[in-house]
Amino acid sequence: MPTHKLTTVQSQAALSELNTGLPTPWEIIDGKLAKAFKFKDFQQAFGFMTMCALYAERQDHHPEWSNVYNKVAVQLITHDVSGLSEKDFDLAKKMESFAALHKA
- Dihedrals phi, psi of 33, to nearest 5 degrees: -85, 115
From residue 5 to residue 24, the character string flagging contacts with its own copies as x (rule: CB under 8 A) and all else as - is --------------------
Check if the beta carbon of residue 63 is closer than 8 Å to that of residue 76: yes
Among 12, 16, 50, 82, binds its own copies (CB under 8 A): 50
Check binding of 43 to its own copies (CB under 8 A).
Answer: yes
Task: Tell me which residue of 85, 91, 39, 41 sits closest to 64, measured CA to CA.
Answer: 91
Check binding of 64 to its own copies (CB under 8 A).
Answer: yes
Compute how many residues bind its own copies; rule: CB under 8 A.
Answer: 16
